[in-house]
Chain A
Amino acid sequence: MWDRRVFRLIGSSILQTGPILVAATFIVFVLMHLVPGDIAITLAGESATAERIEEIRSMYGLDQPIIIQYATWFWKMIHGDLSVSLLSREPVLQSILYRLPVTLLIVSLAMVMSLAIGVTLGVFASLRPRSTLDSVVTTLASVGIALPNFWLAMILVSFLALRFQWLPVSGMTNPVQNPADALYHAFLPALALAAGGVAEVARQTRSALMEVQASQHMRTLAAKGLPQSAIFWKHGLKNISVTLLTVVGLLFNRLLGGTVVIEAVFAISGMGSLVVSAATGKDFPVVQGVMLAMVVIVIFVNLAIEILYAVLDPRVKRR
Chain B
Amino acid sequence: MGKGNEDSGRRIQLTRRHWLALMSGTIVGSAHPLSATIVAAQESKRGGTLKVVTPHNPTSMDPIAGRHGGDHTMLFPAFETLINTDLDTLLPKPGLAESWSYPDPLTLVLNLRSGVKFHDGTPMDAEAIRFNLERARTDDRSRVKIDLIFVKSIEVTGANQVTLRLSEPDVVLLAVLSDRAGMMSSPTAVKEKGEQYDRAPVGTGPWRVTVWRDAEKLSYARHEDYWGQKPSVDQIEMSVIPEVNTGLRTVIAKQNDFIFQLAPQQKLLIDRSGLVVAQGQTVATYQIYLNYAKPPFDNLKVRLAMCHAVNRQELNQVTMAGLGEPTIQTLPTSHWAYNKELEGSYQYDPDLAKKLLAEAGLASGVDVEMFVNNDQRSMQRGEVLAEQFKKANIRIKLLSVPVNELGAKFMGEKLGHAALSVYTGRTDPSQFFSIMFDAKSFINASRIWGTPDLEQAMSDCRTIFDIEGRKEAIGKVLRIVRDNALYVPLLLQPELDAALPRVKGYKPNMLGKPRFEQVSLAD
Residues of A within 8 A of B (CB): 36-39, 41-50, 52-53, 55, 59, 84-85, 87-90, 95, 98, 157, 161-162, 165, 168-171, 264-267, 269, 273-274, 277, 280-282
Residues of B within 8 A of A (CB): 57-60, 66-69, 140-141, 143, 145-147, 195-196, 198-199, 213-217, 239-243, 246-247, 249-250, 252-253, 255, 401-405, 407-409, 411-412, 424, 431, 434-435, 440-443, 447
Alpha-carbon distance A98/B215, docked complex (angstroms):
12
Question: For residue B59, which residues in chain A have a CB less than 8 angstroms away from its CB?
Answer: 87-88
| A37-B241 CB under 8 A given contacts A88-B198, A161-B253 | no
Whole-angstrom distance from the CB of A274 to the nearest CB of chain B? 7
Contact of A170 among B57, B217, B255 (CB under 8 A): B255
Contact of A88 among B141, B214, B403, B405 (CB under 8 A): B214
Is there contact, CB below 8 Å, between A280 and B214? Answer: no
Alpha-carbon distance A269/B213, docked complex (angstroms):
9
Question: For residue B401, which residues in chain A have a CB less than 8 angstroms away from its CB?
Answer: 36-37
Alpha-carbon distance A42/B213, docked complex (angstroms):
21
Q: 8 tightest A-B contacts by CB?
A: A45-B67, A269-B216, A45-B143, A38-B408, A37-B405, A267-B241, A169-B253, A89-B198
Is there contact, CB below 8 Å, between A41 and B408? Answer: yes
Alpha-carbon distance A161/B143, docked complex (angstroms):
43
Is there contact, CB below 8 Å, between A170 and B249? Answer: yes
Question: For residue B215, which residues in chain A have a CB less than 8 angstroms away from its CB?
Answer: 88, 269, 273-274, 277
Is there contact, CB below 8 Å, between A47 and B443? Answer: yes
Whole-angstrom distance from the CB of B365 to the nearest CB of chain A? 29
| A46-B443 CB under 8 A given contacts A37-B405, A59-B140 | yes
Is there contact, CB below 8 Å, between A41 and B442? Answer: yes
Whole-angstrom distance from the CB of A39 to the nearest CB of chain B? 7
Alpha-carbon distance A23/B196, docked complex (angstroms):
32
Is there contact, CB below 8 Å, between A171 and B255? Answer: yes
Question: For residue B141, which residues in chain A have a CB less than 8 angstroms away from its CB?
Answer: 59
Is there contact, CB below 8 Å, between B68 and A171? Answer: no
Is there contact, CB below 8 Å, between A47 and B404? Answer: no
Closest to B407 in A: A41
Is there contact, CB below 8 Å, between B199 and A36? Answer: no
Question: For residue A162, which residues in chain B have a CB less than 8 angstroms away from its CB?
Answer: 249, 252-253
Is there contact, CB below 8 Å, between A42 and B434? Answer: no
Is there contact, CB below 8 Å, between A171 and B442? Answer: no
Question: For residue B441, which residues in chain A have a CB less than 8 angstroms away from its CB?
Answer: 47, 49
| A46-B69 CB under 8 A given contacts A162-B249, A171-B255, A269-B216 | yes
Alpha-carbon distance A36/B68, docked complex (angstroms):
20
Is there contact, CB below 8 Å, between B249 and A42? Answer: no
Contact of B442 among A52, A85, A89 (CB under 8 A): A52
Alpha-carbon distance A289/B328, docked complex (angstroms):
47
Is there contact, CB below 8 Å, between A43 and B239? Answer: no
A-B contact pairs, 5 of them (CB 8 A): A36-B401, A169-B246, A171-B250, A264-B246, A282-B404
Question: For residue B246, which residues in chain A have a CB less than 8 angstroms away from its CB?
Answer: 169-170, 264-267
